[in-house]
Structure 1
Amino acid sequence: MNTCVALLRGINLGNRNKVGMAELAGLFVALGHSAVRTHLRSGNVVFATASTDQARLAGDIEAALADELGLAVRVLLRDAAELRALVAANPFVARGADPAALHVTFLAEPPDPARWSERPVPDTRPDEFAVRGRDVYLCCPAGYGRTTLNNAFWERRSGVPATTRNWRTVTALLAMAGD
């Protein structure tokens, strides 16, 4: 079995895309997954699956969310090994940054280098970022709510769906995934 983390984009934000965590976990069980656990109310699900095809798995979960719960949301997946590597490679942790200032924006796929290079990066100081494959590490000393490096920025810049989690959530998900 493969342990995966599903990161649902835009769940339980204000009055939009409301779903209870028990209902969400039940949907994953109904899809045939096991050891299903949710974390917080922001659409984080850790589960065991026989599938190794992340694109198909995400599509199946998105279809079930639409059919069963009436939710049109994107699902981004990382398996436990990817999440472990992501946590180990955070350049801001390595240099001793305050964990409360750290976030990760998860991209649905790696950004197109041509699209990436044609757009200049604005001055975002004191905020910093580092892009590694499908993940963007963020260090926002004044808080994520004040940064221009928000989820919408990364979706516009990369042209792919994205969702952001704070560092505490990322490390909690890794712990739940069995590391």
Structure 2
Amino acid sequence: MPTHIALLRAVNVGGTGKLPMVELKAMAQRIGFDNPRTYIASGNLVFESELPGAEAGAKLEAALAEYAGKPVGVIMRTPEAMTAVCDSNPFPEAPGNRCVVLFLDGAPPADLQDTLKHQASEQVAAGQREIYTHYVDGMGRSKLIIPAARAGTARNMNTVAKLVEMATG
């Protein structure tokens, strides 16, 4: 049965979108996903389903909207696509907690570099459906604004690697 990786948007970040991971796992089981498992409390779900990724994502979004009373975005990836994200990291020398991947539904804007605001030491590169950012001085000190981030969800490379391990191991 195919394995899917769901990345929930704006869950358990800054005191908004509270969703206990035990509830996310139970929700996934209720809607028919097999072997659901979560990683940390930021909305990472790995599961099996015969549904294509887009259909599984839509089904999860519907359940999340019912739970939260508002839309909760979900970005879906296959284990192969997530492995490619790791393999394509343009900043492999960066510590995993300082390299962040912004996952998008589509390609990053062609003028990505021109849209960035308040860029200092941060290094930014476009991927296929991702934007990679190396926060050289740490994310907490950064003032960088990536307008495309409004449509996506971010995970650091440590989390991306762990999700690949969970989905393929």
Tell me the distance in 2 between the aligned counterparts of 1:155 and 1:28: 26
Q: Among all aligned residue pairs of Structure 1 and Structure 2, give the percentage whose two residues are the same amino acid.
A: 33
Q: Which one-letter code corresponds to 1:43 in the other structure?
A: G
Q: 2-side partners of 1:118 and 1:12: how far apart?
A: 29
User: Mapping of 1:26-105 within 5 angstroms?
Assistant: 26-52=26-52, 54-93=53-92, 96-105=93-102
Which runs of structure 1 show a deviation greater than 6 angstroms over 4 or more consecutive aligned residues? none
Paired residue for 1:155, among 141, 149, 157?
149
1:118-173 Cα shifts (integer Å, max 9, x gaps): 945457231101111111111101112233445x63235xxxx1011111111111
The RMSD of aligned alpha carbons is: 2.1
Structure 1 residue 139 corresponds to structure 2 residue 134: yes
**Residue 123 of structure 2 is aligned to residue 128 of structure 1:** yes
Aligned AA (2:56): L
Contact 2:115–2:147 (8 Å) recurs in 1:
no
Question: Which SS does the other structure have where 2:149 is aligned?
Answer: helix
When normalised by structure 2's length, the TM-score is 0.88
Question: Unaligned regions of 5+ residues in structure 1, if any?
Answer: none
d(CA) in 2 for partners of 1:144 and 1:118? 18
SS in 2 for 1:99: coil
Cα pair 2:96 2:158 within 8 Å, conserved = yes
The one-letter amino acid paired with 1:85 is A
Decide which moves more: 22-31 or 69-78.
69-78
Residue by residue, what CA displacement relative to the aligned partner does 1:71-121 show, whole Å, maximum 9, x if unpaired?
42100011100001110111110xx223332111001221354xx379454
Relative distance call for 1:142 and 1:59 in structure 2 (3 A) is same
Given the alignment of the two structures, is residue 178 of structure 1 paired with residue 160 of structure 2, yes or no?
Answer: no
Q: 8 Å contact 2:27–2:63 — kept in the other structure?
A: yes
Instruction: Determine the C-alpha separation between the residues in 1 that align with 2:77 and 2:40.
Output: 17
Q: Size of the alignment, in residue pairs?
A: 169
Whole-angstrom CA distance in 2 between matches of 1:118 and 1:171: 26
